[in-house]
Structure 1
Amino acid sequence: MKIGVPKEIKPQEYRVGMSPAGVRQLVAHGHEVLVEAGAGVSSGYSDEAYVRAGAKIVPDGATAWNEADMVVKVKEPLPEEFAYFRPGLVLYTYLHLAAFPELTRALLEKGVRGVAYETITDDDGGLPLLRPMSEIAGRMATQVGAKCLEREIGGKGILLGGVPGTRRGRVVILGGGVVGTAAARIAIGMGAKVTVLDINAARMAYLEDVFGNHIETLYSNPESIDEEVRRADLVIGAVLVPGAAAPKLVTEEHLREMEDGSVVVDVAVDQGGSIATCHPTTHDAPTYVVEGIVHYCVANMPGAVPQTSTVALTNATIRYALEIADEGLEQAIASNPHLARGVNTFDGKLTCKPVAEAHGLEYTPLEAVR
């Protein structure tokens, strides 16, 4: 199989879909890998590194797309890449289709077989390809949130960990999954007062086992959200419904009750966001202010640390890339139900129910089309 690795064109996206180590594994299995010139430079990989791994360097993104049977990326294609879509092309990347109706329709109209990292599952019901980026985004959420609290950026001017004789900052995390746990770990390390809201009692028990009395967990409902958000210095939205749009948990009214200069960081922005006033921002203009509250809503947070995130992403994705390349997509999804759950579009049919519900489109079970 021919695998294309084009350069990411999303603003300030510095990751690349495959590291040279991943390329080497694909080539060892007899596949040809076409890497766009310069695709890995921002992640610390020269074209020469890819050549040594066995890749062929191609001059532009069009070649990487058009000559490939499968395209491996990081983020969802942008409209200028839709022209490369064609029937039978396998697109293996983060898609987040619930937040992108235009992309969803383009994939369906062109008959692309879209395999979304974020809906592939494992034996424990987890999301193994979302986990590494969620770990990074969660850590970064606390890190950037602490920075945004600085007065120079518009924050209230509070240090999360405080110092002797001052109060510690209050961090409220909505969701205790991978993102929320990573965010809590960094916030606790900084010395903040940390509260995590979730609806899963077992998950809350786990967090208390891990972090002990350094954390408070509360059942998430409108009353607890009202009370905790109002008092928070930093709110981190870390809610995930696999494949679906994120639920809106923080309203504009909540923001009015917060102290001016408080900060919200919405990690769920690429799924529509869990904060009602959230809209996607970029690394070069990451914040804006609504009702006196600083919003940080960068949709590709791990893209700012590409040397870490590209390695972590390839470590997770290469297993399934090899299955698709070795067996072909149809056989691979027939033999691996976890990979099958990653198929969001297939030959013009929408095969991910949460995405269909998000856009009011017809859902077709994958079993009915393959």
Structure 2
Amino acid sequence: MIIGVPKEIKNNENRVALTPAGAKELVKRGHTVYVQHNAGEGSGFTDAHYTLAGALVLASIEEVYGVAEMIIKVKEPIEPEYKLIKEGQLLFTYFHFASYEPLTKAMIASKAVCLAYETVEKTDRSLPLLVPMSEVAGRMAIQKGANYLEKPLGGRGILLGGVPGVLPAKVLILGGGIVGTQAAWMAAGLGADVTIMDVSLQRMRYLADVMPANVKTMMSNEYNIREMIKDADLIVGAVLIPGAKAPHLITQDMLKDMKQGAVVVDVAVDQGGCIETCKPTTHENPTYVIEGVVHYCVANMPGAVPYTSTLALTNATLPYAIQLADKGWKKAAQENPELIPGLNIINGDIVFEGVAQAFNAPYVPVNKYLED
């Protein structure tokens, strides 16, 4: 198969979808890998690294899209890329369709095959291609939150872990999944007073067993959330409904009950956000203030630590990329059911129910395309 790796063009997105080591694994299986000039530069990989691994370097993004049967990316295509995508071309990347209708419509019009990292699912319901970036984003949420709690950046002027004789900050984490768990570990390690809210008793029992003593668990419901946000210094939104928009657990009217200079970090922003007042921001302009509350809503947080993120992402995606390259997307999905929920749009049809529901659009069962 001919595989293309374009340079990411989203604002301050420095990750690349494939490391030179990953390219070498594909090349030695007989596939051709084209990498755009300087695609890996932001992650510390030069064109020479890819050439040494057996990949071929192309000068422009147009050339990469033009030649490739499968495009491997990190973030969803943005508007300048829409016209480059060909009918029948396989795109393997994060899409988060349910949060952005123009992208969904563009991919429908392209008649490409869109296989989303974030909805590839194992039999135990875990999301193997979302986990590595969720781990990064969860840890970064605390780093960023602690930073923006500083007074010069608009925060309350509070040190997350406090000092002897001074109470630490109160951190509220909405969601006890991968993001929430990693955020809790980081916040607890810095000495904060941490509360994780979730709707699953089973998950909270697990967290209560493994977390240190300064992490508490609490059932997530509107009443409890309204009470807890009154004292919170930092709130991390870590709610995920795979392939669908995140629910608004904190609404705009709730902000008036929060402390002036409190910080919210909504990691779910690329799925629509679980805090109503959150809208996607960039690393260049990461924050804004509403009702005295600092909002940090960067949609590609792991892009700020591209070396770590690129290695972690390739570790997870490469086994699936090899299957797709060796067998083609249809046979690979037939033989590995983990790939089936990853299929979101095929030949102009929405085949993932959560995306169709988000826009009240027609839904076509994916089996239509998988039957021989």
Contact 2:188/2:212 (CA < 8 Å) preserved in 1? no
Say which SS state the counterpart of residue 157 (structure 1) adopts: coil
Residue 202 of structure 2 corresponds to which residue in structure 1? 202
Matching residue's letter, 1:301? M
Alignment partner of 1:241 is 2:241: yes
Matching residue's letter, 2:113? R
Q: Deviations over 1:77-127 (max 9, x none)?
A: 001100012211000000000011111111111211000000001132100
CA distance in 1 between counterparts of 2:102 and 2:161 reads 43
Q: Deviations over 1:258-297 (max 9, x none)?
A: 1100000000000000000001111011010000000000
CA distance in 1 between counterparts of 2:368 and 2:229 reads 45
Deviation at 1:326, TM superposition (A): 0.2
CA distance in 2 between counterparts of 1:282 and 1:348 reads 30
CA distance in 1 between counterparts of 2:259 and 2:125 reads 39
CA distance in 2 between counterparts of 1:32 and 1:217 reads 50
CA distance in 1 between counterparts of 2:74 and 2:197 reads 30
Deviation at 1:215, TM superposition (A): 1.1
Deviation at 1:252, TM superposition (A): 1.3
Deviation at 1:230, TM superposition (A): 1.5
Residue 20 of structure 1 corresponds to which residue in structure 2? 20
Deviation at 1:212, TM superposition (A): 4.0
CA RMSD of aligned residues (A): 0.7
Aligned pairs, number: 370
Residue 82 of structure 1 corresponds to which residue in structure 2? 82
Alignment partner of 1:353 is 2:353: yes
Q: Deviations over 1:35-90 (max 9, x none)?
A: 00000001000000000111000001111111000000000000110001221100
CA distance in 2 between counterparts of 1:99 and 1:354 reads 11
Matching residue's letter, 1:263? V
Residue 118 of structure 2 corresponds to which residue in structure 1? 118
Deviation at 1:183, TM superposition (A): 0.2
Say which SS state the counterpart of residue 86 (structure 2) adopts: coil
Residue 317 of structure 2 corresponds to which residue in structure 1? 317
Residue 139 of structure 2 corresponds to which residue in structure 1? 139
Report the TM-score when normalising by structure 1.
0.99
After the TM superposition, which segments of 4 or more aligned residues of structure 1 sit over 6 Å from their partners?
none
Q: Deviations over 1:274-333 (max 9, x none)?
A: 000001111011010000000000000000000000000000000110001000111111
Query: Structure 1 unaligned runs (5+)?
Result: none
Q: Percent identity?
A: 51
Say which SS state the counterpart of residue 302 (structure 2) adopts: helix
Matching residue's letter, 1:342? G
CA distance in 2 between counterparts of 1:158 and 1:72 reads 42
Query: Structure 2 unaligned runs (5+)?
Result: none
Matching residue's letter, 1:30? G
CA distance in 2 between counterparts of 1:355 and 1:120 reads 14
What pairs up with 1:32-43 in 2 under 5 angstroms?
32-43=32-43
Say which SS state the counterpart of residue 138 (structure 2) adopts: helix
Deviation at 1:369, TM superposition (A): 2.8
Stretch moving more, 163-172 or 207-216: 207-216
Deviation at 1:213, TM superposition (A): 2.2
CA distance in 1 between counterparts of 2:195 and 2:138 reads 15
Deviation at 1:184, TM superposition (A): 0.2
CA distance in 2 between counterparts of 1:105 and 1:251 reads 28
CA distance in 2 between counterparts of 1:186 and 1:103 reads 34
Say which SS state the counterpart of residue 84 (structure 1) adopts: coil
Say which SS state the counterpart of residue 321 (structure 1) adopts: helix
Residue 258 of structure 2 corresponds to which residue in structure 1? 258
